[in-house]
Structure 1
Amino acid sequence: MGLLLTFSVLSFFVLFPELCRSEDPFICSRATYYGSPDCLGTPSGACGFGEFGRNINGGDVSAVAKLYRNGTGCGACYQVRCTQPELCSQDGVRIIVTDHGQGDNTDFILSRRGFGKLARPYMAAELIAHGVVDIEYRRVSCQYPGYNLMFKVHEYSRFPDYLAIIILYQAGQKDITAVELWQEDCQEWRAMRRAFGGVWDRANPPKGPLNLRFQVSGEEGQKWIQLRNVIPSDWKAGVAYDSAIQLF
């Protein structure tokens, strides 16, 4: 993410974000932005998305602080809008979480392109000059028309001894909280470790096509989704495999 200003404040009071006055529950906070030569995201984000995290959603991406949730928040989508009516658009911007970072008492550190979309037409430069703005945000469903959920074998993987995966194009508002592989010789499911961000890994993975299940949580509670042969026996680092399903 580059260098970000961080600080802490000692106080006898605990301050919680207030609910903004709206027909839907928005939470009040602040947002800033980070610079990159092309105004997009960064391929080195803490979620482990790589180039996907730089280009997804047209580069309208963000690092978050507490919303990162130790990586569980990676890939979540939020509607963010700033609250200065003379400068800011009514709809704001829909962003995708791809990184972790803390700024000047902010919940969001947006890509420069995403930050500029908070502004009214032709006022992006003026808004960017503020550096930090008051915002309100709410979680919204991610949408990837034409894409199924995909399991990418992370570039860190080493066939056949070490497998790391990252889940891409996760639609809806559900969180993936656990991933397991089926161990045929033991006839049991064995957990993958959350290595960092949205990356799950396992040393000495099972041989052959991989059966995988993952736990999702949402408003209706938690449930397991099981997939057969979702990753082939000759898997390769850097390749993404289509699950043929999507979450909503």
Structure 2
Amino acid sequence: MGSFQCFLAILGLVLLPVLCISQDTFTRSRATYYGSPNCYGNPTGACGYGEYGRTVNDGQVSAVARLWRNGTGCGGCYQVRCIYPPHCSNDGVNVVVTDYGEGDRTDFIFTPKAYTKLANSPASTEILFAYGVVDIEFRRIPCQYSTPNLVFKVHEHSKFPLYLAIVIQYVAGQNDIIAVEVWQEDCKAWVGLRKVYGAVWDTQNPPCGSIDLRFQVSGSAGLQWVQAPKAIPIDWKAGAAYTSAIQLT
């Protein structure tokens, strides 16, 4: 499906508002887009989000380079608007970072679905796609999902009961996960998980029984540890996603 066809296909959709706007100042940069057969994201993106990374925020997602921050930037939300007044919408697009990608002095490489939102009309959409790279301004904004609770996804590469890798999904607010630890009952201590890549954390020695996690959050409230008792059940399975009772703001 072509880029302009993607625009026409989404005109009739009613999208849930999943992001809200902060009052931070905008930064100038550039943005482009990458090819996608269905206008959605990449299920093999460098954040390790899988299918979540393809469809979160209705596919309005982006790869970044400078904002990647060794994977800590995964899941960050940004408002981006282009600065060609005749062609650009006032609000632009709100995107979620799900991948790493370097462009021609760009900070964002959008899915076609996200890039379309920069324009103010179908005619302008064609013009922006023809440009390929556009000047933009952006700011970090808090994420606010229709799914309010954190989800602990067991990565597909996990092997019960010997190897566990996890990804934390639906991190709301303007928060970054910078460390994850697991409770080891045998030694009565919190033990750090290894950051594998992107937003994927793992351990070669997962505890028996249900798994207690805690993670360090960097956000508007500063640094804080958030504990998740029995975050992952005793009979966890690779590929399964477990919803917690935790909500970040």
- TM-score w.r.t. structure 2 length? 0.89
Counterpart-to-counterpart distance in 1, 2:73 and 2:24: 21
Aligned length: 226
Report if aligned partners of 2:213, 2:229 keep a CA contact under 8 Å in 1. Answer: yes
Q: Is the 8 A contact 2:47 2:199 kept in 1?
A: yes
**Residues 1:210 and 1:83: Cα distance change in structure 2 (over 3 Å):** same
Residue 139 of structure 1 aligns to a residue whose secondary structure is: strand
Describe the SS at the equivalent of 1:129. Answer: helix
SS in 2 for 1:70: helix
Counterpart residue number, 2:49: 49
Structure 2 gap segments, 5+ residues each? 1-22
Q: Which residue of 2 aligns with 1:244?
A: 245
Query: CA offset at residue 198 of structure 1?
Result: 0.3
The DSSP-based 3-state class of the residue aligned with 2:138 is strand
Distance 1:130 1:158, change over 3 A: same
CA distance in 2, matches of 1:145, 1:58: 11
Per-residue deviation at 1:220? 2.6
Structure-2 residue corresponding to 1:18: none
Separation in structure 2 between the aligned mates of residue 143 and residue 228 of structure 1, nearest angstrom: 23
Q: Residue deviations 1:124-151, cap 9 Å, x none?
A: 1111110000000000111112431000
Alignment partner, residue 37 of structure 1: 37
* Counterpart amino acid of residue 77 in structure 1: C
Q: Does 217-226 or 181-190 show the bigger shift?
A: 217-226
Equivalence map 1:71-220=2 (5 Å)? 71-122=71-122, 123-220=124-221
Which residues of structure 1 form unaligned runs of 5+? 1-22
Q: Tell me which amino acid in the other structure corresponds to 2:196.
A: A
Tell me by how many angstroms 1:204 deviates: 1.5
1:16 corresponds to: none
Q: Distance in 2 between matches of 1:133 and 1:146?
A: 32
What letter is aligned with 1:222?
A: L
The Cα offsets for residues 50-94 of structure 1, whole Å up to 9 and x where unpaired, read as: 111011111100000010111100011000000111110010000
Report the Cα distance in structure 2 between the residues aligned to 1:58 and 1:90, rounded to whole angstroms.
Answer: 20
Distance in 2 separating the partners of 1:219 and 1:96 = 18
Which residue number in structure 2 is paired with residue 235 of structure 1? Answer: 236
Aligned letter for 1:128? F
- Distance in 1 separating the partners of 2:53 and 2:138: 21
Q: Counterparts of 2:121 and 2:45 in 1: how far apart (Å)? A: 29
Q: Using the alignment, how far apart are the partners of 1:189 and 1:24 within structure 2?
A: 36
In structure 2, what is the Cα distance between the partners aligned to 1:199 and 1:68?
14
Runs of 4+ in 1 over 3 A off after TM superposition: none
TM-score norm. by structure 1 comes to: 0.89
Distance 1:47 1:57 in 2: 15
Partner amino acid for 1:156? H
Identity of aligned residues (%): 61
Letter in 2 for 1:184: E
What residue in structure 2 maps to residue 27 of structure 1?
27
Amino acid at match of 1:206: P
How far does residue 246 in structure 1 lie from its aligned partner after superposition?
1.1
Cα gap change, 1:61 to 1:188, in 2 (>3 Å): same
Give the Cα–Cα distance (whole angstroms) in 1 for the partners of residues 71 and 27 of structure 2.
Answer: 21
